[in-house]
């Protein structure tokens, strides 16, 4: 939180641990602490997260990419390179983290779809900021997808409705249920 407020990296904070905050910084610090205390994820508070090596904007209402998803990207990238694959499709792109990183790391023809207009907008902004060349459009699963792809990736909602109540507060109260709840898949 201090790194965010001061716009300094962690090494700065360690080096200047006795630095005093001005009144506005202190006010901002406690506002963020209060939001965090109420369970709001830092990614929504800050409006961004880091995924692999890149900074991604995260809109409130778009699923926050998880660090374990980075393993999926590494596996996909290895498969693409080993098999010289030419095209990649992601169904349910959210912030675009997977598609964008796959594109940046392989230069493969990349297409990303989502049913959420907000996710599509979030992906388009991230792809532009990171100079990824991906096609992004709205589709409910394969509904609007044309053509063939060498590799198709999806991490669809998989949590049963009855289990949602057992999730962490920050997930069940802030992240989009349509990206989490298995019963909300539009088939």
The string of DSSP codes covering 61-73 is TSPPPPTTHHHHH
- The alpha carbon dihedral of 170, 171, 177, 183 has a sign of negative
Cα separation, 110 vs 104, in Å, equals: 10
What's the token pair of residue 147?
Answer: 């053509």
Cα separation, 65 vs 27, in Å, equals: 29
pTM beyond 0.85: the answer is yes
Q: Which residue has the tokens 């590799």?
A: 151
8 A C-beta contact, residue 76 and residue 88: yes
What's the whole-number mean pLDDT along residues 136-162? 91
What's the token pair of residue 68?
Answer: 């374990």
Q: Tell me, what's the pLDDT at 187?
A: 62
Examine the pLDDT at 19 and tell me if it is beyond 90: no
Give CA separation, 154 vs 8, 85, 141, 165, 170, in Å.
Answer: 35, 17, 9, 24, 23
Beta-carbon contacts of residue 87 (< 8 Å; ≥ 6 apart): 108, 109, 110, 111, 147, 148, 149, 150, 151
- The residue that leads in pLDDT, 56 or 172, is 56
- The residue that leads in pLDDT, 138 or 20, is 138
8 A C-beta contact, residue 23 and residue 29: no
8 A C-beta contact, residue 70 and residue 93: no
- Average pLDDT, rounded, for the chain: 93
Side-chain-facing half-sphere of 154: CA atoms under 13 Å: 16
């Amino acid at each position: 939180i201090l790194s965010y407020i001061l716009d300094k990296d962690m090494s700065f904070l360690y080096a200047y641990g006795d630095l005093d905050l001005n009144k506005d910084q202190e006010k901002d610090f406690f506002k963020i602490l209060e939001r965090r205390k109420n369970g709001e994820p830092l990614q929504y508070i800050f409006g961004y997260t880091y995924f692999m090596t890149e900074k991604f904007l995260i809109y409130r209402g778009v699923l926050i990419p998880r660090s374990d998803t980075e393993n999926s990207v590494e596996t996909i990238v290895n498969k693409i390179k080993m098999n010289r694959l030419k095209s990649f499709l992601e169904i349910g792109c959210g912030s675009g983290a997977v598609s964008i990183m796959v594109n940046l790391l392989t230069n493969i023809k990349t297409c990303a779809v989502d049913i959420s207009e907000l996710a599509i907008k979030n992906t388009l902004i991230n792809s532009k900021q990171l100079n990824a060349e991906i096609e992004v459009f709205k589709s409910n699963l394969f509904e609007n997808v044309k053509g063939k792809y060498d590799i198709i990736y999806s991490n669809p909602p998989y949590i049963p409705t009855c289990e949602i109540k057992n999730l962490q507060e920050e997930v069940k109260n802030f992240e989009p249920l349509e990206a989490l709840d298995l019963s909300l898949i539009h088939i």
